[in-house]
Amino acid sequence: DIEQVMQGYERATELVPLLGDLGWDAKRSFNGLMSITADGMPLVGESPEVGGLWLAEAVWVKDAPGIGKVFADWLVKGRTDWDPFSIDIARFYAVQKTPAYVLGRCTETAKKVYNPPVHPREPYLTGRDLRRGPFWPREQELGGYFMEAAGWERAHGYKANEHLLAKYR
C-alpha cells in the first residue's frame, strides 16, 4: 500500500531532509512485515524435528547475502566458514519452543527492536523462571540479579556485593 509507505516516508524526510532530495524509487523499495524470533536472530539450518528440511527464516534484507552464503555452504558442504550457532535453528531447547514462550518472547523482542532497551543486556521479562539450578536458593538469598539463558535463571551479580562497588570505582 503506497499510501502507508508515503506517510512514513514524509515523516522521515521531515527529520532527514536529505532523504527527500534523494527521492522515492518504488522499484528499489518495499514494505512488509518484519519477522522476529525469540532472540531476534534468524533461524537457519536443518530442522531438528524433520530431517532433510532446511530453513532460512526471519532473515532481514540486510543479512540475506551473508545468510545465503552460509546456508548454501552448510547445505552443500555440510559445514560453514564460521560458527553458525547464533543463527542455528537447533539453538533453542524444548522449554523455548512452547507456544507461550514463543509468543511472549517474540512479542517482547519485537518491542526491543523498535524501542531499544536502555542497556543492551537488559534482561527479558517473558519466558522467565522456567529452569533453576541447584544453587538458585542460595543465590536468591544473596540477592542475585538474574537473567535468563537457555531457559535457566542465572545470577549475573549479587546485592550482597554492592558494598564492593565503592571500593572498586
- Cα–Cα distance, 159 to 73 (Å, whole number): 47
Which residues, 6 or more positions from 123, have their beta carbon under 8 angstroms from its beta carbon?
146, 147, 148
Which residues, 6 or more positions from 50, have their beta carbon under 8 angstroms from its beta carbon?
none
Q: What is the predicted pLDDT for the residue at 50?
A: 93
Cell of 9: 516516508
What mean pLDDT do residues 9-31 have? 80
Q: What is the predicted pLDDT for the residue at 125?
A: 94
- Cα–Cα distance, 66 to 64 (Å, whole number): 6
Cell of 72: 548454501
What mean pLDDT do residues 89-109 have? 95
What mean pLDDT do residues 88-106 have? 96
What mean pLDDT do residues 132-161 have? 94
Q: What is the predicted pLDDT for the residue at 30?
A: 65
What mean pLDDT do residues 19-41 have? 80
pTM of the model: 0.73
Q: Which amino acid type is present at position 165? A: L
- Cα–Cα distance, 84 to 69 (Å, whole number): 12
Q: Position of cell 530431517?
A: 51
pLDDT value at 62 more than 70 = yes
* Higher per-residue confidence, 153 vs 116: 153
Per-residue pLDDT band at 31 (split at 50, 70, 90): low
What mean pLDDT do residues 81-101 have? 95
Q: What is the predicted pLDDT for the residue at 32?
A: 67
- Cα–Cα distance, 92 to 43 (Å, whole number): 10
pLDDT value at 73 more than 90 = yes
